[in-house]
Copies of this chain bind each other. A is one copy, B any other.
Amino acid sequence: MKEFYPLLMNSPLLASIEERDIPSLLSCLGATEVSVPRDGFAMMAGDEPDHIGIVLEGRLQVIREDDSGSRALLSLLSPGDFYGETLACAGVVQSPVSVVAGQPSRVLKLGFRRILSTCPNSCAFHSALVGNMVAVIARKNLMLQSRMEILDKKTIRERLLLYLTNQKKQRGEKFAVPFDRSELAEYLAVDRSALSREMGRMRDEGVIRFHKNQFEVVDGVKQVFKN
């Protein structure tokens, strides 16, 4: 009973899969445990993404290098997070990103080829894994779409209000946003101080109410969606 099984159980990739099935699932997939030294690469830009990596230990960064050599940080991976699923599923032959370890890490690599092809045993948890993987990608897709609708708006007010009304639908009249101001500004792709300024205006106009990260949309519709 490997020590990282609890970690895997909590991963959305392996949701609804019994712990006792994990060993056979892993062997069925030809999973290999890999140690990545600090600054080592779990996946290199240019290589074919042929596996899904699940972080067991440490911390890794997904980065994209511009032609100029400057690195853009795309995301941070902690234990339980994974990478490569989108690229592998898309059939990309040259990865546009690299995955490097910010500190010594361990990664569980699942060969992609053996994930989609039905295994000879036609194990039930295998097809469950595929379903989970698809769900993960599809949900990421929806999150991207949601943010894109926001970034399509041109003014801070429109972006914030669209974000807040979406939250309102999901969480009810009065809700807490999972961001502090800086993170919210980054999510909306606007300047923090400009966001603060606009929030003040909107509160003065009675469009929204907020305290800390508690928000309430008083009258969002009439104020913005004129078209």
Q: How far is the CB of A197 from chain B (nearest CB, A)?
A: 16
User: Is A130 an interface residue, CB under 8 A from the partner?
Assistant: yes
Q: Assess whether A138 is in contact with B135, with CB atoms less than 8 Å apart.
A: no
Residues of chain B contacted by A227 (CB below 8 angstroms): 70
Residues of chain B contacted by A70 (CB below 8 angstroms): 225, 227
Residues of chain B contacted by A117 (CB below 8 angstroms): 127
Q: How far is the CB of A169 from chain B (nearest CB, A)?
A: 8
Q: How far is the CB of A119 from chain B (nearest CB, A)?
A: 10
Q: Assess whether A127 is in contact with B116, with CB atoms less than 8 Å apart.
A: yes
Q: Assess whether A86 is in contact with B138, with CB atoms less than 8 Å apart.
A: yes
User: Is A90 an interface residue, CB under 8 A from the partner?
Assistant: yes
CA distance A70 to B189 in the complex (A): 25
Residues of chain B contacted by A89 (CB below 8 angstroms): 134-135, 137-138
CA distance A1 to B141 in the complex (A): 36
Residues in A118-151 with C-beta less than 8 Å from chain B:
118, 122, 127, 130-131, 133-135, 137-142, 144-145, 147-148, 151
Contact A141 B144, CB 8 Å, known A67-B165, A134-B134? yes
Q: How far is the CB of A38 from chain B (nearest CB, A)?
A: 25
CA distance A94 to B138 in the complex (A): 15
Chain B residue nearest in CB terms to A153: B189
A160-178 interface bits toward B, Cβ cutoff 8 Å, 1 = contact, 0 = none: 0000010000000000000
Q: How far is the CB of A4 from chain B (nearest CB, A)?
A: 26
CA distance A85 to B142 in the complex (A): 11
User: Is A154 an interface residue, CB under 8 A from the partner?
Assistant: yes
Q: Assess whether B140 is in contact with A66, with CB atoms less than 8 Å apart.
A: no
Residues in A48-87 with C-beta less than 8 Å from chain B:
66-68, 70, 85-87
CA distance A151 to B153 in the complex (A): 10
CA distance A141 to B68 in the complex (A): 26
Chain B residue nearest in CB terms to A142: B90
With A68-B225, A116-B134, A137-B141 given, name 12 new contacts (CB 8 A). A66-B225, A67-B221, A87-B138, A89-B138, A90-B141, A91-B138, A116-B127, A118-B122, A130-B134, A140-B141, A148-B151, A151-B152
